[in-house]
Amino acid sequence: MRKGSLFVITAPSGAGKTSLINALLEDDPRLKLSVSYTTRAPRPGERDGREYHFVDEPTFLAMRSRGEFLENAEVHGYRYGTSKRVINEALGRGEDLVLEIDWQGARQVRALYPDCVGIFILPPSVAELERRMRARGQDSEQVIRRRLENARDELTHAGEFKYAIINKDFNTAKDELAEIIRKERTKPHGAHHR
């Protein structure tokens, strides 16, 4: 049986990563989203077990101390982690998985799964990133400033990824992302665990 492929997609907040991934998942039924754990509260419209598994801080820390996470990181004051068991079971069933994680988590995953495919989504500019954050209307001025500061740092890590896509035009970026997935699936590898 074919081993599944692992696609690690990273971007600064506001670059359009979640929208691109959702469109990709809608168009490609063979692709599944790995649902991470987080300590942040659900945003409007989010549902536990769909976008994230929402847990409190003590639960997250207990899971981490038991070694249940493949990767985990603190981002914007919240904790995020990916379940080892869920990833290994899905890949073993031949499923192709998307991990939507930050650059720190991506680095941890690449160390364990050297055949994973890293894709970094870039905004056309930091000014456009700021415009998108403000247009979302969900963050305070203080949060926007912190996210922009973090984004400048995150952008310096784009070179660590096999692919980079500039999300200037949504449909073009979505097509580029789908083409990368298609191309990588035809290669004779799976996400081999070290």
Q: How far apart are CA 161 and CA 119, in angstroms?
A: 6
Q: How far apart are CA 56 and CA 54, in angstroms?
A: 7
What predicted TM-score, i.e. pTM, was given to this entire model? 0.84
Per-residue pLDDT of the chain (194 residues; tens, 9 = 90+): 678 999 999 999 889 898 999 999 999 999 999 999 999 999 889 999 988 999 999 999 999 999 999 999 898 889 999 999 999 999 999 999 999 988 988 999 999 999 999 999 999 988 888 888 888 878 888 988 988 988 888 999 999 999 999 999 999 999 999 999 999 998 875 555 55
Task: Identify the H or E element spanning 82.
Answer: strand 78-83
3-state helix, strand and coil shares in percent for the chain, rounded to the nearest 5: 45, 20, 35
What burial class does residue 58 get, using C-beta atoms within 10 Å of its C-beta: 0-12 exposed, 13-18 middle, 19+ buried?
exposed
CATH number of 6-185: 3.40.50.300
